Chain A
Amino acid sequence: MKLKIMLKVIVVFTIGFLLLNGHFLIAESSKTTKSENGVVQVSVKGMVCDFCARGLEKVFLKKEEVNKIDVSLEKGLVRIHMKPKKSLKDKTIKKLITDNGISVEKIIRSKK
């Protein structure tokens, strides 16, 4: 009896949450992947959850060259926005990412 009540509570809670969240079985809409000036795009492998992405965000934001980063779990893409006249070498970017347990597939830089 107690188990049935608990299961009902869990089911109701889940349905309510999904309805409120409003996106059942819908992935987030796609965003542009074109490279911009001062932005380095890195295609990565193994970035499947927020913990992975959070680690990358924290490590890049510690670098003085970096203004902000955007992470797309959907595309497996990390976009690193550099501060004006600042940059990071590919080797450094690769090390920061692989040290966080994520594999680098490709680094795309904007054409000057």
Chain B
Amino acid sequence: MFARPISYSDSWTIMQTNNWEKHRAHLHYSPSVKNSFGVILEDERNTGRNNFGLQWNHLIFRKNTKISQANIYLKNGFGITNKQNTENPFINSMISGDWETRRYFLSYHLGGRYANSFDNRSFHHTGRLGIAPYIKDYGSLHTWLMIQVEHHPENPFGEDPVIATPLLRFFKGDFLAELGYSSNQHFLLNWILRF
């Protein structure tokens, strides 16, 4: 879900993520293909933190060819994080890149967050590789087989800092959904709706 932070111009997007780490909802508006502005709600499963923030996503590079598209995005946000009825401000910054054809998909995401006081820093990076087993044209149901590998070097819960998640992506028109199961035995369910 890291690779599509901006929609087409003058459109709204709802993105929802559920995985081993958190439940996350992101609503954003894209005035152009270069920027999107949105709000984020997060419920972190392991840390017990709840976050509310604002996020700005910016397309800093795009390369189009006849058969592919490559992008680099910068994502910055700030907000309030709450844990055990104590609130603190946080800021986060992420950079992500993707390259895709109609057959292959590759992405990388690097992100970090600083929250004053408790659990004050987090850092992770994630890569994804995908292949479409069949190719159909616009308006059809598209399917992707993907593998996602995350590295959380500061994983504070004694778990393996590397988590792999094989997943299926289904994509049709304005709707995209992903279903997977991670190596630390949690379901992944993500979806995006654009309107």
Write the residues of chain A forming the contact surface with B, with a CB cutoff of 8 angstroms.
2-3, 6-7, 10, 13-14, 17-18, 21, 23-28, 45-56, 58-59, 71-74, 76, 99-103, 105
Contacts and interface: CB of A to CB of B under 8 A. Distances in A.
Given A45-B65, A49-B142, A55 B137 contact: no
A49 B68 CA distance: 10
B195 to A, nearest CB: 10
23 contacts: A3-B181, A10-B166, A10-B179, A21-B141, A24-B134, A25-B133, A25-B134, A26-B135, A46-B68, A48-B101, A49-B171, A51-B7, A51-B8, A51-B174, A52-B8, A54-B173, A54-B174, A55-B9, A58-B8, A71-B137, A101-B59, A101-B64, A102-B64
Contacts of B134: 18, 21, 23-26
Given A51-B194, A55-B9, A71-B138, 5 more contacts: A10-B179, A10-B181, A45-B64, A55-B11, A55-B33
A22 to B, nearest CB: 9
A14 to B, nearest CB: 6
Contact of B66 (A27, A49, A56, A76): A76
A18 B133 contact: yes
Interface residues of B, number: 45
B69 A53 contact: no
Interface in B16-63: 32-33, 59, 62-63
A91 B90 CA distance: 45
Interface string B56-87: 00010011111111000000000000000000
Contacts of B185: 2-3
Given A51-B4, A52-B69, A101 B139 contact: no
